[in-house]
Amino acid sequence: MRLMAVIDASVRMSGLEDLTMYRSTASIPFSGRYRLIDFALSNVVNSNINLVGVFPAYPFVSLLDHIGVGKSWDLNRRKDGLFFLPGSQKAGNYVSVGAFSMLGEHRQFFAKSKQEHVVITNCFTVAQLDFDDMLDAHLASGMDITEAICDDGTHLKSYILSKKLLVELMESYEEKENHQH
Amino acid sequence: MKNKVVAMLLAGGQGSRLKSLTYNIAKPAIPFGGKYRIIDFPLSNCMNSEIHTVGVLTQYQPHVLHNYIGQGIPWDLDRRSGGVTMLTPYTEMGGLKWYDGTANAIYQNMHYLAEQDPEYVLILSGDHIYKMNYQTMLEFHKEQKADVTISVIEVPWKETHRFGIMNTDDQMNVKEFVEKPENAESNLASMGVYIFNWQKLKKYLQLDNENENSSHDFGKNIIPLMLENNEKMVAYPYKGYWKDVGTVDSLWEANMDLLDETSGLNLHDPGWRIFSSNPQLPPQFIGEHGVVQDSLVNEGCVIEGAIEKSVIFQDVQVDEGASLKECVVMSGVKIGKGAQLQRVIIPPGLSIPENYQIPDQKEEIVLLTEEVLENWGRGEGL
């Protein structure tokens, strides 16, 4: 109810090139019966989040085949549910999770939603995260952005921020881009 | 899942004051507003309030309801975990157990609740037309640290004798519950919408079940028993449209409220849509002589006559020269040429003969039946 989710399924991992010739990192098979994106999707659903945007990069046939309409995660909904939001940046990138250029291409996804906060998560972290708890911690801290950090100090590259701030960041990125051209 | 809410929707009532409309179907299954049934409102409220586990308790004439709800697809209740479950009376080692009172119906489904393992149980009835955010009520319940929260609405003072009235203090703590008082101290009426902490509900259902003199009713027994034991009970003030459609007159009025912009019943809010099962009929057709004013006309209709201030359900045929004013015409009805009708409810599937008119009708709302039409055919009037 409070949170919507962005799953960045576009990031490429150096070292996994052989496995990602024909599929995205998100759809790499894992542990006999999963694919990597299952962790992100299950974290989202188990945190009681009903609105999820998956932002993939090419090649995503296997990812789309795996997710379908999201039925396995109860995301085949009339209200909210799963959105598959490919960008024009074909190949994805190696660097960042939740790149504003990618999110900015689907501003309507954010504009049409009612949720006040956004969690941005990725498809290369195998973890069980409760974003609802994380949101409570985020709100209690009064900070602008919260990132999930593991006990050993590893950055899990999952972030929570207000939708208002995210939209502002997307806008200022776009302005900067326009300025440069 | 923490903070889990399970809704228990009481849909077993007959609604005998609706006469022939409920001979074959339970009250919550009664068609409403051109394309809905009454139960669409609480189910859609659940969906819009993001409550995804709903038990529907049925007993009286349940087949239409069961068929209609099915897997719960229109209300997003077709789920891997939770979703909709139809809860009918069943036999067990002790014999067959019909639901005997609202509290008893929940008591007999404690296994279902235990399996769902909720923190809160939302009790709803399938008798009312209203749009309500149960999540907001739950927030209130948590803030107040209540054991039970009862949703209340202000009713006109002259009507307080028709309702269960809550007497509260300034902090909305319920001090007393009076069923249909002659001289009411407050005009806050219970809407039959309760949120219980599950552990408390369990305790009181068990206590109530042991009492042989109890009629096992939430309003009559559970609520007074909890007050007696000083459990924290608060009233949640609801503001907005709410109507009990338990009589022919009130059902007609609620339908007419859809045609009145000032009634407060708005179906056009994209943020709070009412969902319904769709019959997939062709678009309505208004013929050369058809005139439609101030009315709702649904898919599959063929209109050749004149319609004013009426609610016309799906697949209705109105022939040339027929005229309808302030009518509620349910699906599959055929209105013969030249028939003149005003202030009537026509149940599904009736065929109104040519030139039919209701003899001696004054201001009252008439519910047409096969029998009334047959009598007219023999020249016997109403």
Identify the pLDDT of residue B327: 98
Chain-chain contact of A74 with B271 (C-beta, under 8 angstroms): no
Most confident of A5-14, A83-92, B30-39: B30-39
Residue A72 has pLDDT above 90, yes or no: yes
Give yes or no for A154 touching B (CB within 8 A). no
Q: CB neighbours of B158 closer than 8 A, spacing ≥ 6?
A: none
DSSP letter for B194, please.
E
pTM, to two decimals = 0.90
Whether ipTM exceeds 0.85: no
CB atoms B74 and A78 under 8 Å:
yes
Predicted pLDDT of residue B1? 64
Chain A contact for B71 (CB, 8 A cutoff): no
Chain B 192-251, CB below 8 Å of chain A: which residues? Answer: none
Whether the predicted pLDDT of B382 surpasses 60: no
Cβ partners under 8 Å of residue B119, min gap 6 = B2, B3, B4, B5, B197, B198
Measured distance CA(A69)–CA(A72) in Å, rounded: 8
At B381, is the pLDDT very low, low, confident or very high (cuts 50, 70, 90)? low
Of residues B282 and B379, more confidently modeled: B282
- What's the gap in Å between the CA of B48 and the closest CA on chain A? 8
Q: Do B80 and A72 touch (CB under 8 A)?
A: yes
Interface test with B, best of A41, A46, A73, A78 (most B CBs within 10 A): A78
User: Is B164 touching A (CB cutoff 8 A)?
Assistant: no
Give tens-digit pLDDT for A126-144.
Answer: 999 999 999 999 999 999 9
Angle at B157 between CA B154 and CA B161, to 5 degrees: 100
List chain B residues with CB under 8 Å of A79: 47-48, 76, 273
pLDDT the model gives residue A90: 62
Task: Inform me whether the C-beta atom of residue A77 falls under 8 Å from chain B C-beta atoms.
Answer: yes
Cβ–Cβ under 8 Å, residues B160 and B137: no
Q: Are B149 and B194 in contact (CB under 8 A)?
A: yes
Interface probe with A: pick from B80, B81, B273, B278, most Cβ of A within 10 Å:
B80
24-53 in A: which are within 8 Å (CB) of B? 46, 48, 50
Give yes or no for B74 touching A (CB within 8 A): yes
B380 to chain A, any CB pair closer than 8 A? The answer is no
B80 contacts A74? CB cut-off 8 A? yes
Strand partners, A24: none
Read off the pLDDT of residues B32-44 as tens digits, 9 standing for 90 and up: 999 999 999 999 9
* Cβ neighbours of B50 in A, within 8 Å: 1, 50
> Mean per-residue pLDDT for B233-258?
96
What tens digit of pLDDT does each residue of B290-335 get?
A: 999 999 999 999 999 999 999 999 999 999 999 999 999 999 999 9
Question: Closest to A78 (Cβ–Cβ): which among B2, B76, B135?
Answer: B76
Going by pLDDT thresholds of 50, 70 and 90, the confidence category of residue A95 is: low
A78 at the B interface (CB within 8 A)?
yes
Please tell me which of the candidates A50, A74, A132 has its beta carbon nearest to residue B50. Answer: A50
For every residue of B49-66, DSSP letters joined together read: TT--EEEEE--SS-HHHH
* Contact status of B270 with chain A (Cβ, < 8 Å): no
The answer to whether the CB of B312 falls within 8 A of the CB of B325 is no
Q: A2 to chain B: nearest residue by CA?
A: B50
* Chain B residue with Cα closest to A75: B79
Q: Tell me which H or E stretch contains A166.
A: helix A163-180
Q: Where do the H-state alpha helices sit in B38-146? A: 40-48, 63-69, 102-107, 110-116, 134-143
State the pLDDT at residue A1. Answer: 77
pLDDT for position A140: 97
Nearest CB to B135 within list A1, A50, A74? A1
Task: Return left, alpha or beta for A70; rule: phi > 0 is left, psi -120 to 50 is alpha, else beta.
Answer: left
Mean pLDDT of B165-180: 94
Q: Is the pLDDT of residue B88 over 60?
A: yes
Assess B277–A contact: CB distance below 8 Å, yes or no.
no
3-class SS of residue B191: strand
